Structures are given as C-alpha cells and as structure tokens.
Amino acid sequence: MQGKRVLITGGNSGIGLVAARELASRGAEVVLACRDSEKTLAALEVIGAGAEIAPVNLPVDLASFTSVRQLAENFLGKYDRLDVLINNAGTMPSKQVITEDGFEMQMAVNHLSHFLLTHLLLDCLKASAPARVVNVSSMLHKKSEMDLATFTGFDKYKMQAAYNQSKLANMMFTVELAERLAGSGVTVNALHPGAVATDIVRSFPWVVQKIVGLLFISPEKGALTTIKLAGDPEMENVSGKYYDQCKLAGYSPVADDNIQRVAFWEASERAVGL
C-alpha cells in the first residue's frame, strides 16, 4: 500500500478500524470519514501508532446528505488523488428513524450516503486509476428483496428486514457501478466480512450484545476481506464481484436483474439529488 491514499467511512471502530490500522501499517495514507468524537481521536492514535503517514479524520454525519457533500468538498479541496474508497460505515437502529432528508436511517446511512459520496469522488478515483471502491455488504443481503417505496420508511419497521435490504442495496450498487465503470481503471467489489462482533449492535439489549460478543468472530478476522479487496495486487482487475470471508461467492439474483437494478439506481439518484 506504499504511496496509496485510502478514504474509509466508519474507520473509528470495528472492522473499519482494524482495516484502517492494517492498511496504514502497510504504508497507506489513511483518511477517516467519521464523526468528530473521543472515539475518533482514539482511533487516530491507534492507526497512527504503526503508520508511516499520520492518519487524519474528515468529519461527516452520514445521516445527512449535506454533511456528505461537505465531506467530499473537504476531501477534494485537500487531496488530488484517491486510490481506495472503502464504504464501510453502517448502522442498525432498533426503532425506525427518519433522517433530516426524509429517508429511513438504515437505507440512508448504509446505502444512500455512500452512493452519494462515491459519485462525488468518482472523477478523483478515475484520475487516480488504477483505483478501487470497496463496499461492505453482508450475506444477509440474500434474504431481501428491494422495495423502493421503503426508502422513506416502512409501514411496519423490522430492524433486521431494513438492514438486509440496505445490504442488498450495497450489492446492487456494486454490480451496477462496476458495469458503468468498465474500462475506467476503477474497480468495485462488495464483501461479507463474516458475523463480526462490532458496535453496530449497540442499540440491542445488553444480553443480546453479550451473546454476539461470545458467538461472533473478532473484528481482526472480520477485516481480512476488506484488506484483501483494498490492497491485494491480484484484485487489481477484478470488478463487480462479491467476496465472503476472502473467498469469491455468489450473490443475490436480484443484483443481476438489470431492470430492477436500473430502477434502483435511478431511485437512488433522485433520493440524493444527483
């Protein structure tokens, strides 16, 4: 990763922090995109301890499209190249929340804000080619269909169903973007990190959090697929694929349905104002 610049959302905890730390230790210049917080300051120290180039944070609230646009503006005002964009951050609220922009929180944070951020940085990625986009999805995307009407909220909110659909959105975005970027030198791939014990479950009852901590794999193991897709030289020309714990895997047929995928893409564009 010598000479490579990496921008990662949600790099202040969980698999994002481990991936950022490992990529920095391999020579990458790491830029976090997180809320300004004590947790983020602590993460910068952890990442910086083994880094050749000191990491920085560009603040963002992924529940706000205005904030995402400001992040992109700040990044492009400071940097002239981007080698790897890792769309890692995620949320999973137990009760339905509607963002300031009028969208269901999981779809807004897990998909729409990353969709917007990626588009705002596409010219920079193309100018930096070969470059990569890495989208953190989940195997749970296979349990969902895509209902565009729920972008603005569910009549009956179920946390898991909303999460699964947001992860399907990550996969559909990956496949469509890879097709649109064919020949540009920018690759796009998605991944399932494994069942990882991270603070995405912070809204769960404490008993459930305890069980998750005991049964799920560590963030260190969970980050391995992100690291592979971001840095493995063998991945340079691979695009539009899905990796499950470092292995190439099959994904939902919904993501291969061109009609659904294009409708989803256009709905995402309208939602974020592109």
| Residues involved in catalysis | 163
Helix segments in 34-158, DSSP class H = 38-49, 65-78, 105-107, 113-127
Sequence letter at residue 191: L
Q: How far apart are CA 192 and CA 126, in angstroms?
A: 25
Q: What amino acid occupies position 44?
A: L
Render the burial of 82-103: b for 16+ CB within 10 Å, e for the rest. bbbbbbbbbbbbeebbebebeb
Rounded-to-10 torsion of CA 194, 159, 144, 220: -10
Angle ∠(169,170,176) on CA atoms, nearest 5: 85
Both tokens assigned to 249 = 């895997």
Question: Who's near 225: CB < 8 A, 6+ residues apart?
Answer: 191, 192, 193, 194, 243, 244, 245, 246
Query: Contact 135/191 with Cβ under 8 angstroms?
Result: yes
Site of tokens 């291969």: 256
